[in-house]
Amino acid sequence: MINVMLVDDHDLVRTGVKRLLEDNGGFRIVAEATSGEQALELIRETHPQVVLMDINMPGIGGLEATSKLLRQKADLKIIIISMHTDELFPQRVLKAGAMGYLTKGSHIDEIVHAIHEVLANRHYITPEIAQQLALAQVEKSGLSPFDGLSARELQVMLMMMEGKKINDISEALCLSPKTVSTYRHRLYEKVGVKSDVELARLALFHGLIENVPFKT
């Protein structure tokens, strides 16, 4: 039996993945967490072999949580299951130590295959994303302006692109509004934009988001 932890702030997503894995057989969901912080607490008690985790969550987020979880349990296998298909995100999480990257549209057979692959110490990346990563290595001149963002700046940007206001982001990340504003202006400078609208257009162009909840 393979012990699995699910980390996602959406109850519906966790419930769906849990049911699919348990119906498939051979898997035990030993813990469910709604944030990276909660995952860090639960890992001490539940000892999962594999963690299936989202990137964009309240608090420290999946990228930072990946690094911190692996510092606590070096042999842990982490697979990111995300809505983001741009090669930037897989690059970041793989660099942080994740062993796999799947999209939320992945079939249960692919999820099961990915789990067995990472337990065998082999990386698994959804084929279309693996192709993007390969092309990105070939086209070095086409580097994304978002490559230079820190994990926190990237997290703030994603929340902004969801239409969240400074105070909403501040509350979700347990930061002061002033700190969030600092991150916002810093990422403006790094990617070379002057407004949320310009940022949204750039993120759309580079495939980091599919749409934005405000008029551009």
Question: Tell me, what's the pLDDT at 47?
Answer: 92
Burial label for 159, CB within 10 Å (0-12, 13-18, 19+), is buried
Bridge partner list, 100: 79, 124
CB atoms within 10 A of CB 102: 22
Taking the model in full, what pTM does it have? 0.69
Query: Would you give the end-to-end CA distance of the chain in angstroms?
Result: 49
Sequence spans of domains, the chain:
2-138, 145-205
Convert the pLDDT of each residue in 115-172 to its tens digit. 999 999 999 988 877 766 665 554 454 567 888 888 888 888 888 888 888 999 998 8
Question: Tell me, what's the pLDDT at 77?
Answer: 97
Residues whose CB is less than 8 angstroms from the CB of residue 198 and which lie 6 or more positions away in sequence, other chains included: none
Convert the pLDDT of each residue in 49-102 to its tens digit. 999 999 888 888 888 899 999 999 999 999 999 887 766 778 788 888 999 999
Mean pLDDT of 177-182: 92
Residues whose CB is less than 8 angstroms from the CB of residue 130 and which lie 6 or more positions away in sequence, other chains included: none
Kind and range of the H or E run holding 102: strand 100-103
Give the phi and the psi of residue 48 in degrees, each rounded to 5.
Answer: -70, 155
From 14-28, 62-76, 126-140, 197-211, the region with the lowest mean pLDDT: 126-140
Class of domain 145-205 as given by CATH? mainly alpha
With the C-alpha atoms ordered 97, 34, 104, 156, is the resulting torsion angle positive or negative? negative
Listing from the earlier edge strand, what are the strands of the sheet with 27-33? Answer: 27-33, 2-7, 50-53, 77-82, 100-103, 124-125
- Same fold across 2-138 and 145-205: no
Bridge partner list, 55: none
With the C-alpha atoms ordered 180, 185, 187, 193, is the resulting torsion angle positive or negative? positive
Residues whose CB is less than 8 angstroms from the CB of residue 133 and which lie 6 or more positions away in sequence, other chains included: 87, 90, 91, 125
At the fourth CATH level, which superfamily is domain 2-138?
Response regulator (3.40.50.2300)
